[in-house]
Amino acid sequence: MSASKVDAWTTSTVGVAPTPAEGETGFSIVHDRPLVEEGAVTNGRIAVTPPEAESPGIKVQPESYSDSGPPPRLALSGCLMT
């Protein structure tokens, strides 16, 4: 089994809000198609509350790291972080 490699998050389908003040919550709005296309509708939102998170709410960490779970060990090569 294999998965697609994620190198970056393309935000063309996301209305990215600025990072709010610490302790306040902001939202990046996710749409079904790029915002420049007519008829884009929302599919949901990603909430961000600093200092734990910053806009747009998700970032890609592409580095490799060791699996610390039970065997069989997996080759881990990055993750999505909120």
- The SS3 call for residue 74 is coil
Q: Per-residue pLDDT tens for 47-81? A: 999 998 888 888 888 888 788 889 988 877 777 77
Length of the chain: 82
Q: Specify the pTM.
A: 0.67
Which of 1-33 are b and which e, b meaning 16 or more Cβ less than 10 Å from the residue's Cβ?
A: eeeeeeeeeebebbebbebbeeeeebbbbbbee
CB 55 within 8 A of CB 81: no
DSSP character at residue 79 = E
More confident residue, 53 or 6: 53
